[in-house]
Amino acid sequence: MGDGRGDEEECRVALLNGGGAAKEGWQVVSGGDGKLRRRVWEESRKLWVIVAPAIFSRVVTYSMNVITQAFAGHLGDLELAAISIANTVVVGFNFGLMLGMASALETLCGQAFGAKKYHMMGVYMQRSWIVLLACAVLLLPMYIYAEDVLLLTGQPPELSAMAGRVSVWFIPLHLSFAFLFPLQRFLQCQMKNFASAAASGVALCVHVAISWLLVSRFRFGLVGIALTLNFSWWATAAMLFAYVACGGCPETWNGLSLEAFAGLWEFLLTEFVCLICSLENWYYRILILLTGNLKNAAIAVDALSICMTINAWELMIPLAFFAGTGVRVANELGAGNGKGARFATIVSSVTSLVIGLFFWVLIVGLHDKFALIFTSSDVVLDAVDNLSVLLAFTILLNSIQPVLSGVAVGSGWQSMVAYVNIGTYYLIGIPMGILLGWLFKLGVLGIWAGMIGGTAVQTLILAIITIRCDWDKEAMIASTRMDKWSQVR
């Protein structure tokens, strides 16, 4: 990319090549070290403005679930398994669905912010509230009949009964998703994640105090755990809405508007495509269900749920990069800067991978100790130790896959990613896991290893799609999309 002048050589950076990218891949980094450092520093600064508070708020929010499982684990092995099944399968399936639908805002609000069409961002968020709330109401029977659903999936009767009883108490938590997820995406698209971080920090402090009060002091058991989660999540949503409504976003929030009810059908179709992308979130929750059909299911579910909790806890960091990458790519494409979008992709991918390598080393080093957070049962501790290698490699693989998904969301490729998810997860990963788990009698090790294979294939396909992307064309598509949606009334 040099201009031929001897005293000023522009850097060649490992960029995803646009225009005719089918013939070209990653370029070699060479020359212009000073300019390269400045570009990387500037892009990293923009990225971390989003990612740093996103990591904090996501880790803190998920820590509420970790605290919940820790309290349940000290009530007993069956209680830990019940809260894990209810929280991971019943709540988790719906969490993934609502989260997937809310990701439509990352494309629409992110590109609107880049195109400086600020007034539409508040309208998009209100449309998302309407669609997600309607969806949440339609999903309520899954909570009410959770015991029957779990029995149909082969879970033990005693475990299903206890998980079913506690699932009903999670209904307020479920409804909070419809309001909280759009608020979070609305704020992150305008780089105001600090508000989410502050609200999450306050909610965590409240959560710890109320958990101790209801579970340890008043002995409310699993019901007390559910009530605590309900209150903490709604408190977070209330604080974020107060920030937005009380002047925190003067350019993008002009109050409630009847415009939100216009164009709902088109908006619903957009969110439905994003819903299909949430199959990714459901994938490892199916692993819990499959494990519930093994012998000694309670121990297997306990061990696997602990590993999945650690995995999901660490996954909050790559998911923050998912959010940051999506916003940066959407902002650059909305501004018509395809080259800026591909550079943001590279910086985010490399940064997240380095962090993933650190946690890979950490899990390998503490393979026989990290489960002590959740249980003192020797049987469960040994089972977790046996799964620690798979946990380490899952964490490493997940350090890059969410970033690539963030590129897809920022670019509006949700439909393409949906097909990739279905093919790799449900036609490769799950069948391979069942084959290794039952036919080859490897149990939970085989199920998990097979499903890791599906994730690896998905990551490879997303990497190829990203490398071959024509970024200038994507910038033009983003401009057309913004013109179309801003005209919907």
Sequential pLDDT tens for the chain (489 residues): 444 443 333 333 333 344 443 333 334 344 457 788 889 999 999 899 888 888 888 888 778 877 877 777 767 777 777 887 787 778 877 887 787 778 778 778 888 888 888 888 998 899 889 888 988 999 999 999 999 988 887 778 888 898 898 899 999 999 999 999 999 989 988 888 889 899 999 999 988 888 888 877 887 878 888 888 899 999 999 999 999 999 899 999 988 888 878 766 666 655 555 555 556 566 666 766 676 666 666 677 777 778 887 887 788 888 889 888 988 988 888 888 888 889 999 999 999 999 999 999 999 998 888 888 777 778 888 888 888 888 999 899 889 888 988 888 778 787 787 788 788 888 898 899 888 888 888 877 888 888 889 889 989 998 999 998 888 888 888 777 666 655 544
Helix, strand, coil shares of the chain, percent, nearest 5, are 80, 0, 20
Q: How many CA atoms lie within 13 A of 13 on its CB side?
A: 21
Residue with tokens 């419809």: 178
181 neighbors 99 (Cβ within 8 angstroms): yes
Instruction: Give how far the C-alpha of residue 450 lies from the chain's centroid of Cα atoms, to the nearest Å.
Output: 21
Task: List all residues 6 or more positions away from 150 whose beta carbon is below 8 Å from its beta carbon.
Answer: 85, 89, 90, 159, 160, 163, 164, 292
Residue 464 has phi, psi (to 5 degrees) of -65, -45
Tell me the C-alpha distance between 194 and 371, whole Å.
31
Cβ neighbourhood burial of 226 (10 Å; 0-12, 13-18, 19+) = buried
Tell me the C-alpha distance between 327 and 248, whole Å.
19
Please state the pTM of the whole predicted model.
0.72
Tell me the C-alpha distance between 262 and 209, whole Å.
43
Tell me the C-alpha distance between 371 and 379, whole Å.
11
